[in-house]
Structure 1
Amino acid sequence: MAYISGFAGNYICDWFFWTLNWLNDFALPNFVMLANEVSTHSNAVAGHPTRWSKPALGRIKLNSDATICQGSNVMGLAWVLRDDEGKFLAAKNTVVPGNYLVKEAEALSIREALSWLISTDMGSVDVEIDSQVVFNALCSSSFSFAFGLLINDVRDLAFAIGDVEFHFVARSANCVAHAVAREAFSV
Structure 2
Amino acid sequence: MKTVVERARHLLDGWRTAQEVISHKATDILAKPNSVIHGPVIKWTQPVYGKYKYNIDASFSDPLNMVDIGICIRDDQGDFVMAKTDCFSPLCDVDVGEAVGLHTALQWVTDLHYDNVDFVLDCKFVVEHFNSNLGDSSELGCIIQACRQLFDCNFQNSHVEFNRRQANGVAHELARVAPSHASSHVYDDVPSCIRDLIANEKQ
Once the two structures are TM-superposed, the CA of residue 127 in structure 1 deviates from its matched residue by 0.7
Deviations 1:143-187 (A, max 9, x none): 451100110111111112222201110000011000000101233
Runs of 4+ in structure 1 deviating by more than 6 angstroms, as ranges, are none
Given that 2:58 and 2:69 are in contact with CA atoms closer than 8 Å, whether structure 1 keeps it comes out as yes
Which residue does 1:18 correspond to in 2? Answer: none
Normalization by structure 1: what TM-score?
Answer: 0.71
Q: Does 2:130 align with 1:138?
A: yes
SS in 1 for 2:55: strand
How many angstroms apart in 2 are the aligned matches of 1:132 and 1:159? Answer: 20
1:65 partnered with 2:57: yes
Instruction: Give the corresponding residue for 1:148.
Output: 141
User: Does residue 1:157 correspond to 2:131, yes or no?
Assistant: no
Q: Give ranges in structure 1 of 5+ residues lacking alignment.
A: 1-43
TM-score, normalised relative to structure 2: 0.66
The worse-fitting range, judged by mean Cα deviation, of 107-116 and 67-76 is: 67-76
**Are the equivalent residues in 2 in contact too, given 1:50–1:169 (CA < 8 A)?**
no
Q: Aligned-pair RMSD on alpha carbons?
A: 1.7
Aligned residues: 141
1:181 aligns with 2:175: yes
1:166 equivalent in alignment to 2:160: yes
Residues of 1 paired with 2:158 and 2:143: CA distance? 17
| Structure 2 Cα separation of the partners of residues 159 and 129 of structure 1 | 18
What is the letter of the counterpart of residue 151 of structure 1?
Answer: I
1:110-150 deviations in whole A, cap 9, x for unaligned?
A: 10111011011110000111001101101222345110011
Instruction: Give the share of equivalent positions with the same residue, in percent.
Output: 30
Distance 2:124 2:48 in 1: 23
2:121 maps to which residue? 129
Unaligned runs of 5+ in 2: 1-38, 182-203
The one-letter code of the counterpart of 2:124 is Q
Distance 1:121 1:99 in 2: 31
Alpha carbons 2:66, 2:89 under 8 Å: kept: yes
> Is it true that 1:55 corresponds to 2:29 in the alignment?
no
**Bigger radius of gyration among the two:** 2
